[in-house]
Amino acid sequence: MKVALIQMQVASSPAENLQTARAHLKDAAAGGADIAVLPEMFCCPYETPNFPRFAQKEGGEIWQALSDMAKENSLYLVAGSVPEDDGGKTYNTSYVFDPEGKCIAKHRKVHLFDIDVKGGQRFMESETLTAGDSLTTFDTPWGKMGLCICYDIRFPEWMRLMALEGAKAVFIPAAFNMTTGPAHWELSFRARALDNQIYLFGCAPARDMEASYHSWGHSIATNPWGEVMAQLDETEGILFAHADFQREDAIRDQLPLLRHRRVDLYELREIKK
């Protein structure tokens, strides 16, 4: 399975961002990608007041454009994330489309990014966003995949639940900042991949120092052995990476971490809402 992580520059106009995404997706398809991934909040600047301002209902103009892009390029599209309006509430939502343009999955960011680091970043998503409440996996010809958004990766239980649901890889549209990125971006992806013996693919926006929020960038692909397969810098570009699920199965057979869990002593389960 070949994955293309599209680390694009995010402009102030959703229309311009859709045009940029469309051009990059064409390049991803030309490069032989089976699955393409866009960044978190790729359609608008990453600022809390913008989320309700640019929010659209599922099936709206942005949703339809993404569906068309998946179909035009005959690939699976993990469409980053966009602000979704539902009943007056705004969610940070990622849609997944199949090569026919059908929406096959939808994830609303479960863990909202509310931090205040002394001498560093302050950002409060809960000021304008509502948290999601569901684990998200979806089926592909290569097996079951998992989906979460940025801060969700910080919670090992959430990642483990996707692995226990059968996810062979997890896609993570994200936008770590210049405080947390250098410290925790690569470490988080390596640790979650190693602990769950899965592939992780993280796609971030390119860095724009003229914006109010500065993305760390560094879109990344990690494998079930906890290794970084490839990583970009902070600039715009496409990262191509392969997932070898035969190798994943071999690693799980030779070092059967998931089978060695002492389920007679502890358990982890999703509480269905």
Which amino acid type is present at position 140?
T
Q: How far, in Å, are 2, 156, 203 from residue 215 at the CA level?
A: 25, 23, 11
Catalytic residue among 109, 125, 148, 248: 109
Residue whose token pair is 């961002």: 17
Catalytic residue among 40, 125, 234, 248: 40
Burial class (CB in 10 A: 0-12, 13-18, 19+), 66: buried
Catalytic residue check, 203: no
Catalytic residue among 150, 168, 203, 234: 150
The two tokens of residue 86 are 């539902």
Asked if residue 18 lies in contact with residue 68, where contact means CB atoms within 8 angstroms, the answer is: no
Catalytic residue check, 40: yes
Asked if residue 40 lies in contact with residue 173, where contact means CB atoms within 8 angstroms, the answer is: yes
Active site residues per annotation = 40, 109, 150
